Amino acid sequence: MKIVLGINAYHADASACILIDGKLIAAIEEERINRKKHFSGYPDESIKECLKIAGINDVEITDVAFNTKPSSNLIPKLKFFLRNFLSNKNYLKNKIKKKTFIKQHLIKNFTLNKNVKFHYVEHHLAHIASAFYPSGFKDAIGLSIDGSGDFTTLAIAECNQDKIKINEKVYFPDSLGIFYHGMTQFLGYQNYGDEYKIMGLAAYGEPKYFHKIKDHLFIENKNKLFELNLNYFNHQKTNFKYIADETLSIGQIYNSNLLKLFSTELKKNENIEQFNKDFASSVQKVYEFFFKKIIQKLISTKFSNNLVYAGGCALNSSANKILTDDNGLFDKTYIPFAPGDNGGALGAAFIVASKYYNKIENIKTPYLGRDFSNLEVMNFLKSESLLNKFSYEYFESDELLYKIAAKLISEGNVIGWFQGKMEFGPRALGNRSILADPRNPNMKNIINMKIKRRESFRPFAPSVLKEFQNIWFNSNFTNPYMSSLAEVKNEKKKLIPAVTHIDGTARLQSVDLENNNRYATLIKYFNLLTGVPILLNTSFNENEPIVMTPKQATECLLRTDMDALFINNYLIKKI
């Protein structure tokens, strides 16, 4: 028996997973347990939770896979060090010490078998593996783009059967991910992971500053896919702090030269909101300009007509539309449910498991976390601390449950939907979701006022029954993980205003009975009531990580103006 523990530590979204005999059993991000968004420390509690779900002890682990390889890319690291950090003798020493601690921390805090094997998988190899193995493709071009990992910011690979060979890399400090992050900071969004706000805001503006950003912040170099003009950035400097500890404290990526570059616009533009919209639109278009250049590079390799794509930048669903539109770029494209660093734990574990098994199982489903039985939910709801706070009702009949939930939604109620195993990855995919009626033109504002309390420009996603997708959206791309945008058909836009963005697109989720029976069935009942096979789906949280337990779900219900909560077969309402 081979039990592989995959770990992403000291990168954002610390996470762990367990594979037993080549089957993925459990995976969870640390933030879901400690409630610290994008936690970047060590996933101790995630490891314990995965072991608990798998029903094994830590001493049974045979292999540990880390999604980092400290010995990789030594030549470019050394060149950069000599060029930039010669005065800081402790820089390289601290990097090596930190990577060594990944192994020592595990040994110190868990009871491991003396024969356990440790495997270090290069960061971008793990990203590509997290996409290639679940894709089911016999061959594919592999692409990974992110901020930086193991001193690399982009990797292109040949994926064939069970082998992944990286042929081309872009090295730090040139990084599209860091560029996008820096521009996010420039617009005032300082938290790690705020880039999606720029994507939402971009649709409200015009790319007026496209050339100004591209021509100044990038250097034209025919020998490189892209090259940053470091005169506008700080991230390459000795004292720059980038996810150095658990606090996710990040330095200011852009420097004062960017403020000088846009000083005229900032002074004369009285409407700063419109400037922000146009700047966001311009940043998105600059990113897409280089993304298209990368795509053409992939096509020119002629290795495969299929593409697998991961890395943090694979969360840019707006740019991903270039890949998923019916434009003939690739025969098939696959983007995994956790393309970011959290999914690196999966990819590293897949690489190791593939050495032992010809096939890895259960790797297409994101539903890999803890579930709760109806008995557990009942015992929780009957606890004394909840008396006089909730009323609840249990339904023996699933059919009646679906009918009542669908009716509540159709009447304008906002409900929490807590079912089965928790999703792994950044998006709620129907098991830890807040659901509402997409037909209501005021629903976006209602949810923001009642629950989310977030920026008004950010869109909400539609979950659509897969068999109806082509009827409502101009897209044939099966999109179970909300990986890409699609255009809402013109005649349908007025029917689902709550999930149609200002530019006529939506980040849809394709749902079917095979992948999520309960969620698909609920949408089916809503369709029978309304003639609309779509629900508005947003993550079950309130400016916090997605809820994991019934306790967290009911606390969210108490804190907000959510109308009802369904946990398994229980309907729960505030008194």
Looking at residue 256, its pLDDT comes to 97
Are 435 and 409 within 8 A, CB to CB? yes
Looking at residue 97, its pLDDT comes to 58
Spell out the residues 6+ positions from residue 466 whose beta carbon is closer than 8 angstroms to its own.
Answer: 478, 510, 511, 512
> Confidence band (pLDDT; 50, 70, 90) for 271?
confident
Distance CA 220, CA 227 (A): 7
Looking at residue 247, its pLDDT comes to 64
> Confidence band (pLDDT; 50, 70, 90) for 141?
very high
Give the mean model confidence (pLDDT) for residues 504-516. Answer: 97
Q: What confidence tens digit (pLDDT) does each residue in 115-130 have?
A: 999 999 999 999 999 9
Are 474 and 489 within 8 A, CB to CB? yes
Judged by average pLDDT, the poorest of 235-239, 284-288, 342-346 is 235-239
Q: Which residues of 16-48 are buried (b: 16+ CB within 10 A; e: fewer)?
A: bbbbbebebbbbbbbbbbbebbbbbbbbbbbbb
- Indicate yes or no: pTM above 0.75: yes
Q: How far is CA 541 from the centre of its chain?
A: 15
Give the mean model confidence (pLDDT) for residues 291-308. Answer: 97
| pLDDT at residue 132 tops 60 | yes
Looking at residue 243, its pLDDT comes to 62
> Confidence band (pLDDT; 50, 70, 90) for 99?
low
Q: How far is CA 401 from the centre of its chain?
A: 31
> Confidence band (pLDDT; 50, 70, 90) for 89?
low
Are 21 and 357 within 8 A, CB to CB? yes
Distance CA 558, CA 575 (A): 10
Amino acid (1-letter code) at residue 307: L
CA dihedral 382, 384, 386, 390 (to 10 degrees): 60
Looking at residue 458, its pLDDT comes to 87
> Confidence band (pLDDT; 50, 70, 90) for 238?
confident
Q: What confidence tens digit (pLDDT) does each residue in 325-372 have?
A: 988 899 999 999 999 999 999 999 999 999 999 999 999 999 999 999
Spell out the residues 6+ positions from residue 355 whose beta carbon is closer than 8 angstroms to its own.
Answer: none
- Of 311, 151, 155, 169, the residue nearest 236 (C-alpha): 151
Specify the higher pLDDT residue, 283 or 386. Answer: 283
The alpha-carbon radius of gyration of the chain (Å, integer) is 24
Q: How many residues does the chain have?
A: 575
Spell out the residues 6+ positions from residue 263 whose beta carbon is closer than 8 angstroms to its own.
Answer: none
Judged by DSSP in three states, 572 sits in: strand
Give the mean model confidence (pLDDT) for residues 147-153. Answer: 96
| pLDDT at residue 87 tops 60 | no
Are 3 and 26 within 8 A, CB to CB? no
Mean pLDDT of the chain: 94
CA dist 189 → 99, 115, 280, 383 (Å)? 30, 47, 12, 41
Spell out the residues 6+ positions from residue 500 whose beta carbon is closer than 8 angstroms to its own.
Answer: 488, 493, 506
SS3 per-residue string spanning 122-151: CHHHHHHHHHHHHHCCCEEEEEEEEEEECC
Sheet holding 473-474, edge to edge: 473-474, 486-488, 505-506
Q: Which residues of 144-180 are buried (b: 16+ CB within 10 A; e: fewer)?
A: bbbbbbbbbbbbbbbbbebebebeebbbbbbbbbbbb
Judged by average pLDDT, the poorest of 94-98, 225-229, 307-311 is 94-98
Looking at residue 495, its pLDDT comes to 98
> Confidence band (pLDDT; 50, 70, 90) for 239?
confident
> Confidence band (pLDDT; 50, 70, 90) for 449?
confident
Instruction: Enter the tokens of residue 401.
Output: 């449950």
Q: What confidence tens digit (pLDDT) does each residue in 7-55 have?
A: 999 999 999 999 999 999 999 999 999 999 999 999 999 999 999 999 9
Percent of the chain with pLDDT over 70: 96
| pLDDT at residue 86 tops 70 | no
| pLDDT at residue 94 tops 60 | no
Looking at residue 136, its pLDDT comes to 96
Identify the H or E element spanning 273. Answer: helix 272-301
Distance CA 313, CA 145 (A): 5
> Confidence band (pLDDT; 50, 70, 90) for 92?
low
Give the mean model confidence (pLDDT) for residues 3-10. Answer: 97
Are 241 and 249 within 8 A, CB to CB? yes
Q: What confidence tens digit (pLDDT) does each residue in 158-197 have?
A: 999 879 999 999 999 999 999 999 999 999 999 899 999 9
Looking at residue 119, its pLDDT comes to 97
Burial classification of residue 454, based on how many CB atoms lie within 10 Å of its CB (0-12 exposed, 13-18 middle, 19 or more buried): middle
Domains defined for the chain, CATH in brackets: 3-126+343-353 (3.30.420.40), 374-574 (3.90.870.20)
Sheet holding 3-8, edge to edge: 23-29, 15-20, 3-8, 63-66, 117-120
Q: What is the DSSP string of 382-403?
A: TSGGGTTTEEEEE-S-HHHHHH
Give the mean model confidence (pLDDT) for residues 422-445. Answer: 97
Instruction: Enter the tokens of residue 424.
Output: 């792994």
Pairing of strands 415-418, 432-436: antiparallel
